[in-house]
Structure 1
Amino acid sequence: MLSLDPGTSMTKMVYCLPSEIPSKAEMLCMESELIKISKDSLDLYESGQMSRPNPENEAWIEYKEEYYAVGFLAQKYFEARINFLELKYENAIPKTLAAVGAIAMREGLNSHLDLSLGLLLPYGEWEDRERLEMGLKKALSNFSFRGKEFCVNLISFQCLPEGGGLVLTRSKKLGTDFNKMNIAVVMLGFRDISAVIFTRGISTGKTEGLGLAWMLERIKSRTSGQNLNDLLKAVHLSGSALKPRFFNTLARSKNAEFKAAEVAQIIEVAELSRKEYWNKVSIWLSVNIPVDIQQVIIGGGTSEYLATELKNLFTYTEISWAAELEEDVRLAFNLPPKKDAMCLRFTDVYGLFRYQKTTSTMSSHRAS
């Protein structure tokens, strides 16, 4: 049983083996990079390896006679870069194959498997879920992971818009009141932001390319020689008050005086870009979130970065931060508090996983 969020900054997974009693939830992350490669390039890579890394760090797959490197291998060896124009639902197929293969090898499973899969997509791509399901069924039935052939039977598939795991969690807590209220779900991610509005249970939504990457691209275009991954790390560690010590590693100059001036310039640009970014986000939210909303559920990795601004924007309504799932995630996987914001980033996919597990248990009880 696998719940998967093929995010642009990280592929996040929660899984369990229902055959184990009791079945224990496990979490797994993979870098989000993905690149199509040739058989010759793969053979050259394989010939130069002296050891065998963990499967999630050396993930390559083959299906339909095409080869893909996924995650850390794609990023580190094949120098793949994130393409913000690519559709997540198309990339979800090779990412799912890599996830299934990596988990199977980690857990010592055989090559013939039954899979219950839950998947999160941006609201703007959610309408493609039926096409995705057909593609997944076909691909899973015949693929190879690191040269091992797999035949996976997709026995159930649940696809929800990003924020769906939070909605399911919150609606369970609210019970019948959920369908009597006007509720907004706001997801702020690396590539996109989205808003789904539930008006007495009926949903509508929108997605916009205003994730944190918008701000990072702004900084990159106004400074010299920066890349998104390094900027993301500095911005994330520094938080809303941009501190010089987190930006020192971005300076390219070796001269101490020039380096200090370079860091100061990067911070000045970052502060301006942050203001411009929040201005764009706040306008979009104000346009797309009705004023009669009785509760707003806020999630996604970027929400912590903009927490103060979001609190000030939504003073007129009740805020549910990640459906109060952060502590549940921390306890489920024994994570230290605030560890790289990992608890927050896993709330949505963990909420989906718990829903999958509940519906699977219910189905098995009915069948018995």
Structure 2
Amino acid sequence: MADIYLSVDVGGSQTKIIYQLAGSKKPNYLLMPPAVEEITKTKLDNYMARLGWIGSPSPDQQLWVVWDERVVVLGDFAACFDPQDRIKELKYENALWKVLGAIGLIVETSNIKVSPKKPLKVELALLLPWNEYSDRRRFEEQLRKMLAGFGVRNTALKVSLERFLCRPEGGGLAAVRIKQQGIDWLRSQQLGVLMFGHRNTTALYFDRGQLKLGDSPLLGFANMLDMVIEMTSGLDRERLALAIFQARYAVLDEIYNPNYSNTRRPDWSTCAAIIALASAKDPNLRDKEIQDIGKAISVATAEYWDKLERWMSRVLPAQLDEVIIGGGAAYHVEPELEKYFNCEPKIETQPSLSRNSYGSGGTKIRTSGYKSKDYNKHFTPMIWGSGISEQVKQTFNLEKKQFGEQCTSSRLVDCFGLFDYLVGLEATNDKS
């Protein structure tokens, strides 16, 4: 039995980590900013000396890894050392340091006792973009070498990698759906998986059980954000992305209004989160700036979708039986996805319990399912997050209707699906 079961998704906007300790009844999760920066030991020492004793930051706020006399700072701590924009770099190389950092962080925050003579036993599952999936053996070889002896913060660690499982992004969602429906179902389906990430957009295509195609170009949400930034002034990716999703979340009732046949998009220039992005002081200039930001988002979204649509048409067959949708950026192009797959949300009417509304026909609500919008065209049902979003919310107590918790649950589904598959392998071994 392993000491730690670990699933890692090294996304472009966040590193998602799900882990469970031996003997624990349920998993936990960690989220870290994606920044990774190599510095000298002298630079780290000088920084800590200048800092002196000021407050008591948590381990995740001052996270660094030491291996073979190299020092790499991670997450929030990397921001203190002028990190480079690495969104176009290969994920797997930076993922090595992130895995080491995650293990060290789990050890420290969980108060796991470590021994210099007895290595920790870890089972690891990792998600990589399809275009880096072929690097998984190289990653595993280098990771085992690094795990033999490394340091995280002030703790020296040795780790034995008991199991290594690597899947392309979207593989966690595919594993969950196959578990739900069964192998016989998979062998009768043409199944697509689409993951809309910050850095990559990934497509997987299963033809009656066989993975026929995968692709993972740099068509992530960051492309759309960069288009907006080019058309405006004073914005950056992080602030802009946060504002866009806050604006969307603030008008969910309007976006998913059951009186309309499809998902709608906010009027960006009227959203408080978008208005807050404007920096001009003069009221007239500020109003013009807000209108320009709203127009830039609309124009960039249309261009972003045009690129996605042409790519999807090239890599996926037109006659899919089902498509699994994942990734936070998918929600930004939800109206376009519904049109592309000929989906119209199903609407149900719930009887009203109020006497005053007796006979009014009840309340319309939107369900999670779809029907064909145009019966003359092929209909491909979309399955958002393989239907496990609610399970993720319940597992990690994310059930409150708050913006941050909704974003977290949608980001964790792929990582959670792969984690579920990993611990399922252990359970199968125990039974046998």
**Root mean square deviation of aligned Cα:** 1.4
Which residue identity lines up with residue 281 of structure 1 in the other structure?
L
Residue aligning to 1:151: 158
Residue aligning to 1:187: 195
Q: Is contact 1:194–1:207 with CA below 8 Å preserved after alignment?
A: yes
Aligned residue for 2:158, secondary structure, equals strand
2:418 and 2:388 map into 1 onto residues whose CA distance is 11
Query: Which of structures 1 and 2 has the bigger CA Rg?
Result: 2
CA displacement at 1:291 relative to structure 2? 1.3
- Evaluate the alpha carbon distance shift between residue 81 and residue 229 of structure 1 in structure 2; reply closer, same or farther with a 3 A threshold: farther
2:59 and 2:209 map into 1 onto residues whose CA distance is 42
Is residue 177 of structure 1 aligned with residue 204 of structure 2?
no
Which residue identity lines up with residue 39 of structure 1 in the other structure?
K
Which residue identity lines up with residue 196 of structure 2 in the other structure?
L
Q: What do residues 176-218 of structure 1 show as CA deviations (whole Å, max 9, x unaligned)?
A: 1112211011111111111110011111211111111111011
Q: What do residues 25-53 of structure 1 show as CA deviations (whole Å, max 9, x unaligned)?
A: 10111111111111122112212042332
1:81 and 1:46 map into 2 onto residues whose CA distance is 21
Counterpart among 286, 298, 303 of residue 313 in structure 2: 286
1:84 and 1:166 map into 2 onto residues whose CA distance is 23
Q: Is contact 2:11–2:34 with CA below 8 Å preserved after alignment?
A: yes
Aligned residue for 2:216, secondary structure, equals strand
Residue aligning to 1:305: 332
CA displacement at 1:23 relative to structure 2? 2.8
Residue aligning to 1:92: 95
Counterpart among 40, 43, 47 of residue 41 in structure 1: 43
1:327-366 alignment runs, 5 A limit: 327-335=390-398, 336-337=400-401, 339-366=405-432
CA displacement at 1:340 relative to structure 2? 4.1
CA displacement at 1:128 relative to structure 2? 0.5
Which residue identity lines up with residue 271 of structure 1 in the other structure?
S
2:34 and 2:177 map into 1 onto residues whose CA distance is 28
2:125 and 2:299 map into 1 onto residues whose CA distance is 39
Q: Is contact 2:324–2:383 with CA below 8 Å preserved after alignment?
A: yes
2:271 and 2:172 map into 1 onto residues whose CA distance is 37
Residue aligning to 2:78: 74
Is residue 229 of structure 1 aligned with residue 229 of structure 2?
no
CA displacement at 1:252 relative to structure 2? 2.7
Aligned residue for 2:151, secondary structure, equals strand
Q: Is contact 2:20–2:26 with CA below 8 Å preserved after alignment?
A: yes
Residue aligning to 1:214: 223
CA displacement at 1:9 relative to structure 2? 0.2
Q: What do residues 199-245 of structure 1 show as CA deviations (whole Å, max 9, x unaligned)?
A: 11111211111111111011111222221111111112123422442
Q: Is contact 2:26–2:395 with CA below 8 Å preserved after alignment?
A: no
Residue aligning to 2:384: 321
Which residue identity lines up with residue 216 of structure 2 in the other structure?
T
Q: Is contact 1:244–1:267 with CA below 8 Å preserved after alignment?
A: no
Aligned residue for 1:253, secondary structure, equals coil
Is residue 118 of structure 1 aligned with residue 125 of structure 2?
yes
Q: How many residues are matched?
A: 363
Q: Is contact 2:127–2:167 with CA below 8 Å preserved after alignment?
A: yes
Q: Is contact 1:26–1:333 with CA below 8 Å preserved after alignment?
A: yes
Q: Is contact 1:8–1:82 with CA below 8 Å preserved after alignment?
A: no
Which residue identity lines up with residue 103 of structure 2 in the other structure?
V
Which residue identity lines up with residue 218 of structure 1 in the other structure?
M
1:248-259 alignment runs, 5 A limit: 248-259=275-286
Q: Normalising to structure 1: TM-score of the pair?
A: 0.95
CA displacement at 1:269 relative to structure 2? 1.3
Is residue 263 of structure 1 aligned with residue 290 of structure 2?
yes
Aligned residue for 1:208, secondary structure, equals coil
Which residue identity lines up with residue 286 of structure 2 in the other structure?
K
Deviates more, 1:45-54 or 1:314-323: 45-54
Q: What do residues 64-98 of structure 1 show as CA deviations (whole Å, max 9, x unaligned)?
A: 211111011112x2232432221011111001011
5+ residue gaps, structure 2: 249-264, 343-378
What is the aligned-residue identity percentage?
A: 33
Q: Is contact 1:8–1:32 with CA below 8 Å preserved after alignment?
A: yes
5+ residue gaps, structure 1: none
2:225 and 2:147 map into 1 onto residues whose CA distance is 36
Q: Normalising to structure 2: TM-score of the pair?
A: 0.81
Which residue identity lines up with residue 33 of structure 1 in the other structure?
A
Residue aligning to 1:276: 303
Which residue identity lines up with residue 44 of structure 1 in the other structure?
N
Q: Is contact 1:3–1:352 with CA below 8 Å preserved after alignment?
A: yes
Residue aligning to 2:144: 137
Q: Which has the higher helix share?
A: 1
